[in-house]
């Protein structure tokens, strides 16, 4: 039963996905890009939220994530005076590399909601939640690879993430408001946002290059100080 509860998110996601496929194949669902795309967002994020909601976590874990999410959200809210420098992506990536995909996802998507609570929600909010959330997930999956922690590679990763993020954000209005959707549409949309994505990517790359090490060290240090995740068992093993 508890296993079912834990995995419930996946089940719902998969059944939603099947329903969508049926809808597309038999009922011309592919005409309704918006609904379809929002459904896609929901079933890609649901398993993470579900798992987070269902698992038992201590106050320390919640607070720890809240601090990181605040730093990331603050990157957008407080740096309004510096339009080019938005350390949000940097913080999401570092968190993910230090703590793993789930934490990365939670920090990324929470930062998106919260910063929009200050800057104003809009139809873009779910897309930003998705974009930063997935940035956290994918970066978190890389964390066991050695090269993912080297500055040069990280900088490249930063630029790639800058563009991927921009492309996802282009999607939300291209999908709904442009018809028909074809390669040309996307190329035009991507070209239009090229400069912004480049700046975003370069900033993230520079920040990762300069500050990755020190931030990674701080997060890891406090992971042990808080006794989070596997840290507690490791400590107990080493002291007895």
Partner 1 sequence: MVALVETRHLNFEYALSDHKSLSDVTLSVEAGAFIVIAGPSGSGKTTLLRQLKPELQPVGKRTGEILFNGHPINELGTVVSAQSIGMVFQSPDDQLVMDNVIQELAFSLENVGMSSGDIQRRIAELASFLGLQDLLYEDVTNLSGGQKQLVNLASVLILRPKLLLLDEPTAQLDPIATKSFMSLLQRIHEELGITIVMTEHVLDDVLPLADQLWFIRAGEITDTNTVSDTLGHLWQQPDARLFVPDVPYVFLNNQLTQTSGLPLTVVAGRRELREGKAKFKRPVIATAKEPVRRNWAVNLTHVAFEYDRNGNYVLDDLNLKVPENDWLAIIGKNGTGKTTLLKVMMGLLTPRRGTAKLLGKRVNSWHQQSLYQQVSFLSQTPSDYFSYDTVMAEFVARAEQLGLTDPKQAAQEMLTRLDLVSLANQNPHDASGGEQQLIALGILLLSAPSVLLLDEPTKGLDPVRRQRLGKILKRLQQERGVTIVMVSHDMAFSARFADHCTLLFDGQIVSQAEPHQFFAENFFYTTATNRLMRDLVPNLITREEVAVVE
Partner 2 sequence: MAMDANTGRPIRHPRHLVIEQLNPWVLLTYYVAVVGCAMVFIHPVFLGTMLILMVGVNLVGRSGHRVLMTLEGSVFMVAFIMVLNPLVNNRGAHVIWTFGGVLITVEAVMYGLLMALSLVIVLLTFISYNQYLTSQKFMYLFSRFSPKLTLLTMMTLRFVPLFIKRFKGIIQAQSLRGIEVEQGGFRQRSISLVKLMAVLLEDSFDRALQTADAMSARGYASHKRTSFQRYRFTQRDLVWLLWLLLLSGSCFFEASQGIGRLVIYPSLGQMGLSVEGWLVLLEVAILVSFPMILEGWEWGWWHLLKHGI
List contacts with partner 1 (CB under 8 A).
221, 227, 232, 235-236, 238-240
Q: Which CB atom, from 161 or from 215, has the smaller least distance to partner 2?
A: 215
Binding of residue 70 to partner 2 (CB under 8 A): yes
Q: Least CB distance from residue 59 to partner 1, whole Å?
A: 9
Q: Which backbone phi and psi does 82 adopt, to 5 degrees?
A: -115, 80
Provide, rounded to whole angstroms, the least separation between the CB of residue 120 and partner 2: 5
Sign of the CA dihedral 117, 120, 122, 128?
negative
Compare residues 5 and 221 and give the one whose CB is closer to partner 1: 221
**Shortest distance in whole angstroms from residue 237 CB to partner 2:** 23
Chosen from partner 1, partner 2, none, partner binding at 235 (C-beta under 5 to 8 Å by type): partner 1
Contact, 230 vs 220, CB < 8 A? no
Q: Which range, of 12-20, 37-45, 63-71, 133-141, touches partner 2 by CB under 8 A?
A: 63-71
Over the window 107 to 146, marking each residue x when it contacts partner 2 by CB under 8 A and - when it does not, the resulting string is ---xx-xx--xx-xxxx-----------------------
- Residues forming contacts to partner 2 in the complex (CB under 8 A) are 34, 49, 52-53, 56-60, 62-67, 69-71, 73-75, 77-80, 82, 84-85, 87, 90, 106, 110-111, 113-114, 117-118, 120-123, 173-174, 176-180, 182, 184-185, 188-189, 192, 206-207, 210-211, 214-215, 218-219, 222, 225-226
């Amino acid at each position: 039963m508890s296993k079912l509860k834990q995995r419930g998110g996946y089940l719902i996601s998969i059944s939603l996905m099947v329903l969508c496929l049926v809808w597309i194949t038999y009922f011309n669902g592919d005409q309704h890009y918006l609904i379809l795309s929002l459904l896609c967002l929901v079933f890609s994020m649901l398993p993470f939220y579900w798992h987070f909601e269902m698992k038992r976590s201590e106050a320390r874990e919640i607070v720890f994530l809240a601090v990181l999410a605040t730093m990331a959200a603050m990157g957008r809210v407080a740096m309004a005076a510096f339009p080019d420098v938005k350390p949000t992506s940097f913080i999401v990536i570092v968190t993910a590399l230090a703590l793993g995909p789930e934490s990365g996802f939670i920090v990324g998507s929470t930062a998106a909601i919260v910063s929009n609570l200050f800057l104003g929600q809009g139809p873009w909010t779910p897309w930003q939640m998705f974009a930063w959330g997935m940035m956290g997930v994918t970066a978190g999956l890389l964390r066991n690879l050695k090269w993912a922690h080297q500055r040069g590679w990280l900088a490249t990763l930063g630029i790639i993430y800058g563009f991927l993020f921009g492309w996802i954000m282009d999607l939300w209005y291209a999908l709904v408001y442009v018809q028909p959707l074809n390669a040309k549409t996307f190329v035009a949309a991507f070209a239009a946002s090229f400069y912004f994505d480049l700046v975003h990517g370069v900033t993230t790359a520079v920040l990762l290059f300069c500050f990755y090490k020190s931030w990674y060290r701080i997060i890891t240090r406090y992971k042990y100080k808080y006794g989070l995740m596997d840290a507690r068992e490791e400590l107990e093993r080493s002291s007895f």
